[in-house]
Structure 1
């Protein structure tokens, strides 16, 4: 496939070079460049803001780097006719192309201008890709990306532009692979607050000072686990403060990512334990007695990398666990030997991948893996990727549409998939403004080798002084969640 990427050499940044590099690396792609004039770049006030953050907080981001040289690639000339033109300036036309011109809009604006407005307003933007040909425009994809630090303009804008680069490469690759391009409705435009860079800096600086004082006084919030006797039957859960009891901690660690398992009259609560002294997660186990009392969690599994999200399942008469090991870019399968205190590595299911919260579901004869995914310069909070295999042991094949969903409100897994009257419902994280800010429950509508669709059916918000709620699991007699808040 012949691809012409239109760039402005005077406004060249790292995220644009990432588009060039990624597409150049794809087999069968002949990438050339053409020079254009950017119609909407970043204002001088943004450069001043980045300089202040770099000077005071050492903030930098590769997606915003301006020292990138003009890529060492051939320049498109009049004798070369591209199949697709990718317009990173805003001044490109589909003239002379077979498939048209691909571009990206952020809240209806050019990527950098739209993303900066969202950052200064401290809100999550919408991005969509457009394919224009002969005066007709189709919207190929609509994504709702997350940022992980809204108090840093450098980090937030870099993450949004990293996702913009990923989105353009994703859709260009699908066009190159001959995957039919649909047409979606444009996302609604936001009401912008039109905040200035100066105001953003002063408010973010005040927030940084306040957060530091809270940490020094030991009042900074963190995650904790709570459980209650199961309420209701197999319907969608109704989550609120009634009945939940907090799993006690000693202030030297937090507990999160709870999973339940019941057998032989015993009730097991598996959690991530994060000791502040080591800064590395381990997996721990608490027993919940018939009297409703929970034992102090004891460490049952520790490796040389951070562990979390102890997803458990039973297969072929054995107990299995897939903990999150994203820090070493693997998805690993462990077998209980014996259950529940000892776990032995069985196999590495996927390697050289950045996946979190892997969750399995068998549908018919196919095993599906749902996982939060991350690409270069993007958040791990907003993207869902799927894999399929004939058994939980693999071989696991990626879905051709990966990521099948980019939505900070409903992508990242938040617990075991629920079977509610034959309907499969995914607990999902809503990460708008905070990692795990709230819970959602998304019903899977379409799950096939080519497509995926879900509908958000219900949501649950944290209560009281808590500001996060990001896991839900249940067993025959218990329900368990985790919340983000103060120790009280």
Structure 2
């Protein structure tokens, strides 16, 4: 399967890089900018590659779809209960000091110089003479047309239709083009609530937009996808019948979440991950051959990594005992399909998971997930397998998760999932890449176009990178259907350097290889065997 392709680093026709990209921003409600709009303006102002040259105000289009009173009421109710989020406070400007100006037939920055592009942060747009003056056209978001003054209905369709993911893209209008072209696309796990679904994607859209702007400033060129269908009338808001379907779906979702909360309070964790093992290699194993790992005790086991040591195979894994909320790293010896628990390998004041264990220069290291500590940590084994000491740290202050380190063609690469967020912390949507000096982490150089992958279906690491036939592969999670860790991908990395990153999906593993599974989100292999973790359950909305 190679239908799913992700890439970072544009290679289209390039002109000499501009020293500063002159940007205009177009809004239609200057007195009521949303959090995501404020963040975009703030990010532009903090980056020396950009000049916020003009803030334009355009009236809302007359043909914009009008929300019914029922939709407006439902939207306000959900916004006040499920969609509340803290206000964003800009660091680099005051809203009262922004120089708003009305749109004219031609636009320019404050000094009269032409703009390079205009970002439309609403459904408004420029006329053709104004677009003709823009070197890189007018950029707008696909979700901007799903709104009126009383409601925003972008997030409803994905929940009503039970879509595995909700897609958004950035479109570009250019002079002389009959249709809009797509600049960038990303898809995100559909949330249980329409308002949260829309808000979450708008927050992620900030990251996607800023990556594309940085790429444009650095390279001086854009690579546009094939034109999208010609713009039609604004998408219609949901009908009364669709809202009734949505209300029923939301009620079921809320009830399920309430049950999970009660179970957690009673010490009965609903997410009871377990381990399966089988014979095979990560690039071509058959998950139908996997069998449950037999182990004593009722702890929850996830994120397994295999280690060969003195002729035996060991499993390091995230362990969570019933009633606990903070996991630790445990280790056991794998004998056949039985796990002989040896004890706790690592325990900290913060939650630990994803114990990525690797060897270098005859030593054994572990890089567990420590995002609650807001830094990356590497531990060195001093007495196998239960004694470890802190060896190095990096990415101080950042919320990184599921990090892996790999030596490929004499260069060390750090793959990590960092959450760039205001209201919705999420480690499933952004893959960041760094070149490092190895386990010491004294040299950490970010990729030019971080995050190199954006989208919940492909971004999050799902296990140890592995080499095969001279190529590097990355297991990744497939977060869809509203489920964390629904499935797995095997991604082939086609180009890897500090300028460009490109990968493609070779195969997908869904939780259908054994009856009664809802998710499988992690893979590792050693000594001719593979190990995965699975979550028993049922896909929401599936027949019972």
- Measured against the shorter chain, the TM-score band is 0.7 to 0.9
Aligned pair count reads: 477
Q: Quote the Cα distance in structure 1 between the aligned partners of 2:429 and 2:285.
A: 23
Question: Is 1:20 the counterpart of 2:47 in the alignment?
Answer: no
Question: Is 1:411 the counterpart of 2:459 in the alignment?
Answer: yes
Instruction: Quickly say closer, same or farther: Cα 1:477–1:364, change in 2 above 3 A.
Output: closer
TM-score (norm 2): 0.79
Partner of 1:287: 333
Q: What are structure 1's unaligned runs of at least 5 residues? A: none
Secondary structure of 1:53 counterpart: helix
Matches within 5 A, 1:84-483: 84-93=117-126, 94-106=131-143, 113-123=153-163, 124-136=165-177, 137-147=180-190, 150-185=191-226, 196-213=242-259, 216=262, 221-231=270-280, 235-240=283-288, 242-248=289-295, 250-251=297-298, 253-289=299-335, 291-296=336-341, 298-377=343-422, 379-394=426-441, 395-433=443-481, 434-462=483-511, 463-483=514-534
Deviations 1:158-201 (A, max 9, x none): 10111122222222232233453112236799x99957334322
Does the Cα contact within 8 Å between 1:309 and 1:323 map onto a contact in 2? yes
> Higher relative CO (CA 8 A, sep ≥ 6), structure 1 or 2?
2
Q: 1:80 aligns with which of 93, 109, 112?
A: 112
Instruction: Quickly say closer, same or farther: Cα 1:116–1:163, change in 2 above 3 A.
Output: farther
Instruction: Quickly say closer, same or farther: Cα 1:117–1:203, change in 2 above 3 A.
Output: closer
Q: Quote the Cα distance in structure 1 between the aligned partners of 2:228 and 2:416.
A: 25
Instruction: Quickly say closer, same or farther: Cα 1:266–1:203, change in 2 above 3 A.
Output: same
Deviations 1:217-244 (A, max 9, x none): 788742423233423x57522112x341
Instruction: Quickly say closer, same or farther: Cα 1:234–1:278, change in 2 above 3 A.
Output: closer
Does the Cα contact within 8 Å between 2:275 and 2:302 map onto a contact in 1? no
Deviations 1:245-304 (A, max 9, x none): 2354644x4211010101102221111112343311211111123x54312362221112
Q: Quote the Cα distance in structure 2 between the aligned partners of 1:122 and 1:70.
A: 38
Q: Quote the Cα distance in structure 2 between the aligned partners of 1:169 and 1:131.
A: 15
Q: What are structure 2's unaligned runs of at least 5 residues? A: 1-20, 103-107, 539-544
Deviations 1:370-419 (A, max 9, x none): 22232114532122221112434231111111111123222211111122
**Comparing 426-435 and 8-17, the one that deviates more:** 8-17
Secondary structure of 2:140 counterpart: strand
Secondary structure of 2:449 counterpart: coil
| CA RMSD of superposed structures (Å) | 3.3
Partner of 2:18: none
TM-score (norm 1): 0.87
